[in-house]
Structure formats: C-alpha cells, structure tokens
C-alpha cells in the first residue's frame, strides 16, 4: 500500500498532471467567455439577420412521443457558431504569438550583428 501511495504522489506531482489540471480549470473559465460571446453577441446578430429563427420548437409527434428534432438543429447551429468564434480567437492569438516571435527573432539578429561589429572593432584595435 505504501508503494501505491508513493506512486500516486509521484504521478500527481508530475508536471503533466498539474498542466492538465490547470488546462481543465482555464478551459472551464474560457468556456464561459466563449458561451457569452456566442449567446450575448453573435447569437442576437444572427437572429437579426435571419429574422429571429428559432429551431428549438420544431418537433414531430409519433404516437404519444414528441421528437424534438429542432433542439438538435439548434444545438448544431450553436456548435458551429461556437467553433467559428473559438477558431477566430485562436487564430488571433496565434497571429499575435507569431508577431511577437518575429520581433524577438529580429532583436536576436540585431544583437548578433552588434556582437559581430564589436568583435570587428576589437580586432581592428588589436592590430
């Protein structure tokens, strides 16, 4: 039993488990942001453009049962809007990261040129 507990402690304290936990927590918080964007901003705009279409009330009666296929259609539309918003956000973040990386590479290149120039000056002064 001691080895099991020791193994569990090692597992839980590894970076992978901690990174996963942080990712899940941040993912939950990020979900609220995406949901708000879709429900409070994008959804109403699309509702205005489509004349307020709401598929959730569509259903078919089969005997005593009601098949609410409209809820499914509405869920698919919400999923597609959510996926699009998430795609746009991630694309923007990646673009910002690329710009920052490019600036960093340019700074490193400038530093390397300065070092090369300083070495040339040093070597000239030696002679």
Domain ranges across the chain: 1-53
Report pTM: 0.58
Residue 7 pLDDT level (bands cut at 50, 70, 90): confident
Helix axes 15-36, 2-13, angle to 10 degrees: 50
Convert the pLDDT of each residue in 20-79 to its tens digit.
888 899 888 888 888 888 888 887 887 788 777 777 788 888 888 888 888 888 888 888
* Cβ contact 58:69 at 8 Å: yes
Closest among 52, 47, 69, 73 to 60, alpha carbons compared: 69
SS3 category, 127? coil
Residue 15 pLDDT level (bands cut at 50, 70, 90): low
Residue 104 pLDDT level (bands cut at 50, 70, 90): very high
CA dist 117 and 125 (Å) reads: 12
């Amino acid at each position: 039993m001691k080895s099991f507990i020791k193994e569990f402690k090692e597992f839980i304290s590894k970076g992978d488990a901690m990174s996963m936990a942080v990712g899940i927590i941040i993912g939950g918080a990020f979900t609220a942001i995406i949901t708000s964007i879709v429900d409070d901003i994008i959804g109403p705009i699309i509702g205005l453009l489509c004349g307020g279409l709401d598929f959730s009330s569509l259903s078919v009666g089969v005997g005593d049962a009601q098949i609410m296929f409209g809820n499914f259609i509405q869920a698919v539309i919400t999923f597609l809007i959510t996926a699009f918003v998430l795609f746009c956000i991630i694309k923007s973040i990646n673009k910002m990261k690329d710009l920052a990386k490019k600036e960093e590479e340019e700074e490193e290149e400038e530093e390397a040129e300065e070092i090369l120039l300083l070495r040339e000056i040093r070597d000239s002064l030696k002679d």
